[in-house]
Amino acid sequence: MNRRYVIVTGGVLSGVGKGILSASIARLMKESGVRVNTLKIDPYLNIDAGTMNPNQHGEVFVTEDGYEADLDLGHYERFLGVDMKRQNNLTAGQIYKTVIDKEREGKYLGSTVQIVPHVTDEIKQRIRELNGELIIIEIGGTVGDIEGEVFLEAVREMTLEDERESFLFVHVTYAPHLEVTNEFKTKPTQQSVQLLRRIGIHPDMIIVRSQFPVEGRDLDKIALFGGVPRSMVFNLPDTENVYEAPAILHSYDVHRKIATRLSIRTNGEFSWQFPRAFKSRRVAIVGKYLGTGDSYKSIIESVILCGVEKPDILDSQVLEEMSPEEIDLSLKQYEALIIPGGFGKRGMEGKLAAIRYAREHDVPLLGICLGMQLIIVEFARNVMGFANANSTEFDPGTPYPVVDIMEEQKKLLKMGGTMRLGSQKAKVFPSTRLCSIYGSDEIWERHRHRYEVNRNVCKSMLCYPEEDCFNKLTICAEKDFVEAIELQGHKFFIGVQYHPEFKSKVGLPHPLFEALTNPQRTCRR
Ligand code: GLN
């Protein structure tokens, strides 16, 4: 079969859930027996998301192959249940860099290098390199953005070079609700469809997002003015639970409509299972990137996928200002705490205070990456009495550099893509809680860090499981560095140098989150 494409564009506003929708369409088609693949196109000039501030852009998602991706790849992984690779995220930065490198190498000798055809050719080539019968391509941003235009032009060209019938354009828009007149407004949708048509793309399907259900006559209007059959216009109001989206699309027969339009054979199966009922276990993430709700996306979803209510996010800088009594008061409502990853000194003391609280009050705690490094710092300061112990990331002159920059990182001058990244294998020691959680003595986990536990300075506070671990932190997994530690005798006090949150899938949340949120369940098998 000829390769088919579903191209998802956005109109009106960004942030209306194009990523979830693309992932949902991908899952729906996968359920129908189609071999799908996905591509997120980010029109920004960064080579990848690694250098972007989570406060503005949300979490940086790390793939198995060590690529620092846009967080939509996290949605794709969780919804599709498959691991993404670096090819699944394309940025304008990557394309322009390739084109300019080629120009310097003399590959275009004689030509004037231009957006069309050289940049668009490069985009088309990257798209065509992907495997799969059906490629779902999500074009980031909103139609009309100056940076996105070249990508729309590239796919438009593809519809001429391949067959237009192999492409289905889904335009995702938003219908705002006007309180005063109590009506939904369709004009922004109409105008964004016009923008798309001006570039030569006529949408085949319009998905209208909204706060509440939109009435049929509004959808009639969108169909009429958008030039799309009414049967191809759908409304997707906000849902509490994003994992409902594939089921809603299925109830609208979207899979069959896509299959018919693209002449794809499907098997009509659909067995999408996702958590619907949520245990009320109060979990808090003690974070510092609060500029967007997306900064801790994969951690939040990992908890939700365990069937537990959405965790709260606490501002570690606020904790910093509190007395120990106030900290007790604000943390005692939580049954589990998560200290997430992060960079830089800001808010660090607040995280240390939360760790101390959890250690002293036997509250389950999971420290992730920076979270584990801070478990080490807190233990050094408050149990070992190493005054002013710190990570050299925060205090280069500390007398006890219990966390230090990795040797190989010292030589690196460039920032982008140079951390310890991606999946690495580690040994888990039998008889540790971690081993019973995984049910395995070997793990593969994803990394993203420059600093690690400084074993020389931490010698007296670390132990191996078979040793006397009284008043020490037990190393429960290692590679040539400390991968995970735990405090024995505590309900649950584990720090991991890696990021378990990136491996949770729908129906298969990461076992560490299962164990943290469900204390009865400590063993995977
Ligand atoms: N800043 C720490 C480091 O680079 C932790 C990184 C993280 O939490 N991802 O090692």
254 and 25 Cβ atoms separated by less than 8 Å: yes
Atom of ligand 1 nearest to the CA of 371: 8
pLDDT in tens, 124-145: 999 999 999 999 999 999 999 9
Pick the range with the lowest mean pLDDT from 11-15, 229-233, 367-371, 436-440: 11-15
Active site residue 447: no
Alpha carbons 377 and 494: distance in angstroms, whole number: 14
Spacing, Cα 405 to ligand 1 middle (Å):
10
The mean pLDDT of 97-113, rounded to a whole number, is 96
The mean pLDDT of 366-379, rounded to a whole number, is 98
Per-residue pLDDT at 1: 56
Dihedral sign computed on CA atoms, order 94, 96, 102, 104 = negative
pLDDT in tens, 410-439: 887 788 999 999 999 999 999 999 999 999
| Residue of the CA atom closest to atom 6 of ligand 1 | 449
Query: CA 103, 109, 112: angle at the middle one, nearest 5?
Result: 75
Alpha carbons 525 and 414: distance in angstroms, whole number: 43
The larger pLDDT score, comparing residue 21 to residue 414, is at 21
Query: Which H/E stretch holds residue 510?
Result: none
pLDDT in tens, 79-97: 999 999 999 999 999 999 9
Dihedral sign computed on CA atoms, order 111, 115, 119, 121 = negative
Look up residue 397 and give its two tokens. Answer: 């002159």
Q: Is the pLDDT of residue 519 over 80?
A: no
Mutate to test the pocket of ligand 1, among 60, 288, 369 (most ligand atoms within 8 A of CB): 369
For residue 100, the Cα-to-chain-centroid distance in whole angstroms is 30
Q: Which among 369, 435, 463, 476 is annotated as catalytic?
A: 369
Spacing, Cα 154 to ligand 1 middle (Å):
37
Beta strands in 308-419 (DSSP E): 312-315, 336-339, 365-368, 390-391, 401-405
**What residues contact residue 44 under an 8 Å CB cut-off, 6+ apart?**
91, 92, 93, 140, 147
Cα-trace Rg, the chain: 25
Q: Is the pLDDT of residue 11 over 50?
A: yes
pLDDT in tens, 197-236: 999 999 999 999 999 999 999 999 999 999 999 999 999 9
Atom of ligand 1 nearest to the CA of 343: 1
154 and 191 Cβ atoms separated by less than 8 Å: no
Pick the range with the lowest mean pLDDT from 275-284, 482-491, 514-523: 514-523
Active site residue 369: yes
Q: Is the pLDDT of residue 12 over 80?
A: yes
Q: What is the largest CA-CA distance in the chain?
A: 75
The model's pTM: 0.95
Spacing, Cα 67 to ligand 1 middle (Å):
16
Dihedral sign computed on CA atoms, order 10, 11, 16, 21 = negative
Q: Which among 483, 501, 510, 514 is annotated as catalytic?
A: 501
Instruction: Provide the 10 A C-beta neighbour count for residue 51.
Output: 13
Which class for 180: exposed (0-12), middle (13-18), buried (19 or more C-beta within 10 A)?
Answer: exposed
Mutate to test the pocket of ligand 1, among 299, 348, 373 (most ligand atoms within 8 A of CB): 373
As a whole-number percent, the residues of the chain with pLDDT over 90 amount to 92
The mean pLDDT of 183-188, rounded to a whole number, is 94
Atom of ligand 1 nearest to the CA of 451: 10
Q: Peptide bond preceding 213: is omega within 30 degrees of 0, i.e. cis?
A: no
- 525: pLDDT confidence band, cut at 50, 70 and 90? very low
Helical pair 120-128 and 92-104, crossing angle rounded to 10 deg = 110
The mean pLDDT of 13-28, rounded to a whole number, is 94
Per-residue pLDDT at 520: 62
Spacing, Cα 395 to ligand 1 middle (Å):
14
| Residue of the CA atom closest to atom 8 of ligand 1 | 341
| Residue of the CA atom closest to atom 7 of ligand 1 | 341
Mutate to test the pocket of ligand 1, among 53, 406, 407, 451 (most ligand atoms within 8 A of CB): 451
Query: CA 412, 414, 419: angle at the middle one, nearest 5?
Result: 65
**Ligand 1 pocket list (CB less than 6 A):** 341-343, 369-370, 393, 448-451
Query: CA 517, 293, 434: angle at the middle one, nearest 5?
Result: 25
Atom of ligand 1 nearest to the CA of 403: 10
Q: Is the pLDDT of residue 369 over 70?
A: yes
Look up residue 31 and give its two tokens. Answer: 């359920």
Per-residue pLDDT at 464: 96
Q: Is the pLDDT of residue 521 over 80?
A: no
pLDDT in tens, 42-83: 999 999 999 999 998 899 999 999 999 999 999 999 999 999
Active site residue 501: yes
- 34: pLDDT confidence band, cut at 50, 70 and 90? very high
pLDDT in tens, 239-253: 989 999 999 999 999
Mutate to test the pocket of ligand 1, among 316, 370, 377, 412 (most ligand atoms within 8 A of CB): 370
**What residues contact residue 64 under an 8 Å CB cut-off, 6+ apart?**
83, 85, 422, 423, 444, 446
Domains along the chain? 4-262 (3.40.50.300), 283-517 (3.40.50.880)
**What residues contact residue 464 under an 8 Å CB cut-off, 6+ apart?**
429, 474, 475
Spacing, Cα 80 to ligand 1 middle (Å):
28
The mean pLDDT of 8-36, rounded to a whole number, is 94
Q: Which among 171, 250, 499, 510 is annotated as catalytic?
A: 499
Per-residue pLDDT at 277: 87
Spacing, Cα 258 to ligand 1 middle (Å):
43
Atom of ligand 1 nearest to the CA of 499: 9
Spacing, Cα 46 to ligand 1 middle (Å):
20
255 and 249 Cβ atoms separated by less than 8 Å: yes
Mean pLDDT of the chain: 95
As a whole-number percent, the residues of the chain with pLDDT over 70 amount to 98
Per-residue pLDDT at 393: 97
Spacing, Cα 420 to ligand 1 middle (Å):
10
